[in-house]
Structures are given as structure tokens and as C-alpha cells.
């Protein structure tokens, strides 16, 4: 657990939803609090779902209530067990505890069907033969009322018979629907006789072929909440216009009635938050999969090295809003930086190595220097780092003809090696193409540990690794998947795909100090001076692979200012 983030928390949060819950309890509308997170098992969860989880579960925690994980598995054409398993893993990893309340809407299908029959008997539902296109044509517009279906006045007995035959599989897909009988002239188009059941001859991942009619979300949503005794049904803003329908179904049935409250969904800069676009990105080969570390999916963030604690802290900081806005990705990155700064093991790694030969260092000699494991945590102790005649430093830490404010290594210049000695560049060796392949330097044995006894100072400290002792590793340098704050903001004739960042992934062959040789998938490190990195799930003992979780600071701040 990231205790530093936990310690940094402010007082218990409050927002318009929590204030509404307090009022409901004070007025006696509800005697307790019971929330739910109701994902559809048709995709992987993303960071926006993490916000919803921590609103639902967080409010249950704050008020000593209950929390359900309930799958809204009402569409067999798009749902798979793979998604169910992934969602369970993600919600558990985020830290939510549903106790024994892992629930599925499909387990309520019999009760839903009985309630549909009750609405027919009340004259509030009917079987309709219109095709989807015909229904759209008759629905009307925001300024024009809809038209009644010619099948709207079927008798109760006929409707009950047709619904039974729909359930028994007598009709083809799309041949008939069950619709609520409300008001085709309602200013809210959702109340213009919405569909309650569609015919779908499809195998359900839990129910098999028992059913060939499946409930619409609007019909099922409130019923599921009612059956489970949910008090507060918390949804994103796009469901606000559906709330009157939620209320209508519950009121007409005369059953227990939860309260629906809406909040703004999470929109994150430099990314997209659409299941459809996720599918397009994966199918088009723009990313390696739904858990690609550039994706905003929980699986992708976890693989990149994000912690559940950092995501929870991010959700706490952004709060609960009533209006849609775009949250800067930098806020999420700040949360993981703060957490890993306190907890991550430090190691030295060189991502673009150039060899340094210390010409006056004894050949064959190897020293073990003491290095601090984490300056933020004294209990983390120290480690030994091998130091020898031949080293690697970052190529960008040397310039043959440096500009005035370049303070790192250059011909005739002295710098400090982290935990080691002062070194001075005496000679530059190049290959036939003019590329620098070796720097020949001298070291000052009196400066061991980083200070000169004569008091002379240097302006730069470089990280390094021993050429003979360091281990090779693949390092994947991930960046924002898109190069615009809002990828959907495009020129005419373009799509969000045109805003993909061509530099969102660079793979380099690095050298890492031997301390990391036993690292396992999921282990997190700070590569000194470079950023935070996580061992990838594809890593093997013979070939370590690291994903960059975040740089040491926000490298996109100036870019974002320019785009605003």
C-alpha cells in the first residue's frame, strides 16, 4: 500500500451526491446506504470506470453501507465471460469490496418477465410489430411529436399471448418488440413508448439458450436496483434524461424505488474514453491490445505500473462534478509520481549507452560502492553497486561542443559520477561514420563518495553502470497515445486517428545495474534521473522488459499550454 498517499489525504470528502445522501438519511427517505457498480460485460474497464467505482464504493464506505458489484448482462450479442473475469479482477484490484454480493442482472430475468406481464395487464405495455426503422420514423423529433403505433391498442390477452410466444422463440429477431405505453407526444423522447424487450436468438454467457427475448437497459436498470435494495443509483450524466423513465417503470409497478443521481463522467486529456474507439484502436493495430500501457483501461494502467492507491488518490482529487470537463492527464501522473517517489526502489539505468573508459583506473579492479535505495525511506537501506574501469553513461550526458548552459560532460570538463568519483574527459573516440563510440577519461581517486578534498566543485552528477556487470534490458518508453489535449478535435475530413502521437512508444536497448536482475513482473523502480518504470508481464529472467510509468516531471506542460 502507498502509505504516503494515504497520509496526505484531506478530511473526509464531500460533494453534491454525499450531501444528497446525508439529506435522504436525515429526512428518513432511506434508513441506510446501499450502492452498486453495474458494468456491462462487453469491454474492459477504463479510468472513467475507476472514478465510478470510487464514487459508488466510496460513498458506501463513508456511510457504513453496502456495495454491490452487479453485471448488467442483458445483451448476449456483445457480452463474454472474458470481460466478466477481467472486470472482477479490475474492481478487486482497485480496492472495492462487494463481500458476497457479486450479482448478475440475468439472474432476475424471470422476475423482469413477470413484471412485464403486470404492465401489460395494467394496459401500460404492448407488443409492437414495427421494425426498428419504422419506430424511428414514428418517434418524431424534439419539436415534432411521435405517432402512435398501429399495434398500440392490442388487447391485454393478445399482448400476453404474443409476449409468451416471443419468449418461446416463435418469432424471428426484430419481428416484434414489447414497448411501454407512455406518451408519444412527450417532450422527452425517451418516454415515447420505449422498447422493453427485443427478440435475440443468441447464446447467453450465463443463461445459455433459455431466453430469446432480452430486456433493454432502461427497462432492466431500475428493476435490478429495486430487487437488490439499492438506495442510491449513481449514474453518469447521459442517464439524466433517462431518469423519468427509470421512475415511471418503478412507480407503475408499485415496487421499491431507489433514487437515481447523475454525475459528470471522466474525460482525460490526450486520450479517448470510448469503447467503440478502443475496439478501433486494437483492431487497427494502433495499440497491441486492450492492456497496452498507452490505453486508459485499468488493465493498461496496471501494466504500465500504476498502483491502485494512485488511481484512488486521483479520483479523490478530481472530486465529483455536475458538469462535463476534461481533466488533465498530468493530475493522474502526479499521483503516481508522488506515490512511487515514496516507495520505489532506486536503481541506475542507462537508456542510450556510450562507453566511458577510465584510463588511470587499475585494470581488473572492481569496487562495490554504497548506493541509497530510497532517500525518502531511511528503512529501505542501501545496496552495493559495482564500479570498474569501463562504464556506460547516457549519450545525451556528453557533448563535444557544448552550448553555454550545458553543465554535463564535455572535453576537458569534470563531472561527478553518482556515489562514485569525479571524472574528466580527456579524449573522444569515433567510428568511421563520425559517431562517438568511446570517451576516454581519468578519475580522481581522492573524490570517492562524491566530494573533492581540495574543495573544488562540479556542476553535474551523472548516473552510470558498469559495462561488465550491468545487465541488458528492453525499455519501452511510453508517452501519451495522442498529441492533442482533445483527440476528437479534428480538422474537416480527419478523425481522432489523425491525432495519434507517432512517438507514443519508443523501444530502446538499455543497461541496468545488476541489482535489478531478479526483478519480477509488476516490480516498480525509479531509474535515477530518468523516471519510474515497471517490469512488464512479458518479461523473462533471461530478458527483462520495463515499461515507463511516468517521467520524473511533466514533460507535456508547455505543449498543453500552447494548445489551449
Q: pLDDT tens digits, residue range 176-192?
A: 999 999 999 999 999 99
Residue 254 has pLDDT above 80, yes or no: yes
Domain 275-304+473-563 and domain 346-469, same fold? Reply is yes
Residue 6 has pLDDT above 70, yes or no: no
What is the spatial order of strands in the sheet that 436-444 belongs to? Answer: 461-462, 414-417, 422-430, 436-444, 353-358, 390-394, 465-466
Task: Identify the residue whose cell numbers are 522488459.
Answer: 545
Residue 459: the pLDDT is: 94
Tell me the pLDDT of the chain averaged across its residues: 95
Mean pLDDT over residues 236-249, rounded?
97
CATH for the stretch 346-469: 2.40.240.10
Is the backbone of residue 122 left (phi > 0), alpha (psi -120 to 50) or beta? alpha
Three-class SS of residue 550?
strand
Span 43-84, pLDDT tens digits: 999 999 999 999 999 999 999 999 999 999 999 999 999 999
Mean pLDDT over residues 15-39, rounded?
98
Residue 2 has pLDDT above 50, yes or no: no
For residue 515, the tally of other CB atoms under 10 A from its CB is 19
Question: Residues of the chain with pLDDT > 90: what percent?
Answer: 94
Mean pLDDT over residues 245-267, rounded?
97
Mean pLDDT over residues 510-531, rounded?
97
Q: How many CA atoms within 13 Å lie on the side-chain side of 236?
A: 16
Residue 563 has pLDDT above 90, yes or no: no
Span 357-371, pLDDT tens digits: 999 999 999 999 999
Tell me the C-alpha distance between 109 and 115, whole Å: 10
Residue 3: the pLDDT is: 39
Do 20 and 261 meet the contact criterion of CB atoms below 8 Å apart?
yes
Tell me the C-alpha distance between 519 and 210, whole Å: 49
Span 457-509, pLDDT tens digits: 999 999 999 999 999 999 999 999 999 999 999 999 999 999 999 999 999 99
**Which pLDDT band holds residue 195 (cuts at 50, 70, 90)?**
very high
Which residue, 561, 485, 563, is CA-closest to 326? 485
Residue 11 has pLDDT above 60, yes or no: no
3-state SS track over 448-503: CCCCCCCCCCCCCEECCEECCCCEEEEEEEECCCECCCCCCCCCCCCCHHHHECCC
Residue 9: the pLDDT is: 40
Mean pLDDT over residues 36-47, rounded?
96
Copy the grid coordinates of residue 436: 562517438
Span 87-110, pLDDT tens digits: 999 999 999 999 999 999 999 999
Residue 557: the pLDDT is: 56
Which residue, 421, 120, 66, is CA-closest to 232? 66
Do 98 and 68 meet the contact criterion of CB atoms below 8 Å apart?
yes
Mean pLDDT over residues 324-352, rounded?
96
* Phi (first) and psi of residue 450, to 5 degrees: 110, 0
- Evaluated on CA atoms 445, 446, 448, 450, the torsion sign reads negative
Tell me the C-alpha distance between 526 and 452, whole Å: 28
Tell me the C-alpha distance between 432 and 43, whole Å: 53
Do 386 and 514 meet the contact criterion of CB atoms below 8 Å apart?
yes
Span 488-497, pLDDT tens digits: 999 999 999 9
- Evaluated on CA atoms 481, 309, 68, 80, the torsion sign reads positive
Residue-range domain boundaries for the chain:
3-267, 275-304+473-563, 346-469
**Which pLDDT band holds residue 554 (cuts at 50, 70, 90)?**
confident
**Which pLDDT band holds residue 7 (cuts at 50, 70, 90)?**
very low
- Evaluated on CA atoms 186, 224, 266, 87, the torsion sign reads negative
Q: Which CATH superfamily is domain 3-267 in?
A: HUPs (3.40.50.620)
* Phi (first) and psi of residue 506, to 5 degrees: -125, 135
Question: Residues of the chain with pLDDT > 70: what percent?
Answer: 96
Task: Give the active site residues.
Answer: 40, 265, 275
3-state SS track over 147-207: CCCCCCCCCHHHHHHHHHHHHCCCCCCCCCEEEECCCCCCCCHHHCCCEEEEECCCCECCC
Which residue, 478, 479, 477, 481, is CA-closest to 271? 481
Q: What angle do CA 129, 132, 138 make, to 5 degrees?
A: 85
Residue 559: the pLDDT is: 46
Residue 211 has pLDDT above 90, yes or no: yes
The pTM of this model reads 0.91
Copy the grid coordinates of residue 117: 406481464
Q: Which CATH superfamily is domain 275-304+473-563 in?
A: Ribosomal Protein L25; Chain P (2.40.240.10)
Span 445-457, pLDDT tens digits: 999 988 899 999 9
Residue 43: the pLDDT is: 92
Amino acid at each position: 500500500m502507498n502509505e504516503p498517499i494515504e497520509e496526505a489525504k484531506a478530511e473526509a470528502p464531500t460533494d453534491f451526491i454525499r450531501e444528497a445522501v446525508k439529506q435522504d438519511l436525515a429526512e428518513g427517505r432511506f434508513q441506510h446506504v446501499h450502492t452498486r457498480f453495474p458494468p456491462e460485460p462487453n469491454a474492459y474497464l477504463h479510468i472513467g470506470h475507476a472514478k465510478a467505482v470510487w464514487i459508488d464504493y466510496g460513498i458506501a464506505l463513508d456511510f457504513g453501507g453496502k456495495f454491490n458489484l452487479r453485471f448488467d448482462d442483458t445483451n448476449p450479442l456483445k457480452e463474454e465471460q472474458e470481460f466478466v473475469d477481467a472486470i472482477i479482477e479490475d474492481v478487486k484490484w482497485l480496492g472495492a469490496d462487494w463481500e458476497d454480493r457479486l450479482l448478475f442482472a440475468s439472474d432476475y430475468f424471470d422476475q423482469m418477465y413477470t413484471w412485464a406481464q403486470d404492465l401489460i395487464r395494467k394496459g401500460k405495455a404492448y407488443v409492437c410489430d414495427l421494425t426498428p426503422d419504422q419506430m424511428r420514423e414514428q418517434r418524431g423529433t424534439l419539436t415534432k411529436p411521435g405517432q402512435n403505433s398501429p399495434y398500440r391498442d392490442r388487447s391485454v390477452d393478445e399482448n400476453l399471448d404474443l409476449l409468451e410466444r416471443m419468449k418461446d422463440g416463435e418469432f424471428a429477431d426484430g419481428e416484434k418488440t414489447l414497448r411501454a405505453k407512455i406518451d408519444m407526444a412527450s417532450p422527452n423522447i425517451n418516454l415515447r413508448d420505449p422498447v422493453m424487450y427485443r427478440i435475440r436468438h443468441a447464446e447467453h454467457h450465463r443463461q445459455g439458450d433459455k431466453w430469446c427475448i432480452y430486456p433493454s437497459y432502461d427497462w432492466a436498470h431500475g428493476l435490478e436496483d429495486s430487487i437488490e435494495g439499492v438506495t442510491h443509483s449513481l449514474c453518469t450524466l447521459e442517464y439524466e434524461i433517462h431518469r423519468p423513465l427509470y421512475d415511471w417503470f418503478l412507480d407503475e409497478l408499485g415496487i421499491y424505488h431507489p433514487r437515481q443521481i447523475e454525475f459528470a463522467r471522466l474525460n482525460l486529456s490526450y486520450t479517448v474514453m470510448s469503447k467503440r474507439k478502443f475496439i478501433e484502436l486494437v483492431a487497427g493495430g494502433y495499440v497491441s491490445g486492450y492492456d497496452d500501457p498507452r490505453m486508459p483501461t485499468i488493465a493498461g494502467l496496471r501494466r504500465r505500473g500504476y498502483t491502485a492507491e494512485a488511481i484512488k488518490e486521483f479520483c479523490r482529487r478530481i472530486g465529483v462534478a455536475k458538469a462535463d470537463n476534461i481533466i488533465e492527464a498530468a493530475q493522474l501522473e502526479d499521483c503516481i509520481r508522488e506515490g512511487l517517489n515514496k516507495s520505489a526502489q532506486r536503481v541506475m539505468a542507462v537508456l542510450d549507452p556510450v562507453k566511458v573508459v577510465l584510463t588511470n583506473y587499475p585494470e581488473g579492479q572492481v569496487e562495490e560502492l554504497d548506493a541509497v535505495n530510497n532517500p525518502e525511506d531511511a528503512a529501505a537501506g542501501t545496496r552495493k553497486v559495482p564500479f570498474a574501469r569501463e562504464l556506460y553513461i547516457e549519450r545525451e550526458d556528453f557533448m563535444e561542443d557544448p552550448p553555454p548552459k550545458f553543465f554535463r560532460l564535455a572535453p576537458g570538463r569534470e563531472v561527478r559520477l553518482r556515489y562514485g568519483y569525479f571524472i574528466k574527459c580527456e579524449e573522444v573516440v569515433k567510428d568511421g561514420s563520425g559517431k562517438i563510440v568511446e570517451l576516454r577519461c581519468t578519475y580522481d581517486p581522492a573524490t570517492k563518495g562524491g566530494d573533492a578534498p581540495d574543495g573544488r566543485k562540479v556542476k553535474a552528477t551523472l548516473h552510470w553502470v558498469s559495462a561488465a556487470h550491468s545487465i541488458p534490458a528492453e525499455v519501452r518508453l511510453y508517452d501519451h497515445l495522442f498529441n492533442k489535449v482533445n483527440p476528437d478535435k479534428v480538422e474537416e475530413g480527419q478523425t481522432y486517428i489523425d491525432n495519434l502521437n507517432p512517438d507514443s512508444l519508443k523501444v530502446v536497448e538499455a543497461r541496468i545495474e545488476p541489482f535489478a536482475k531478479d526483478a519480477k513482473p509488476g516490480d516498480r523502480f525509479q531509474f535515477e534521473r530518468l523516471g519510474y518504470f515497471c517490469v512488464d508481464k512479458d518479461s523473462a529472467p533471461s530478458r527483462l522488459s520495463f515499461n515507463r510509468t511516468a517521467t520524473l516531471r511533466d514533460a507535456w506542460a508547455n505543449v498543453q499550454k500552447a494548445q489551449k
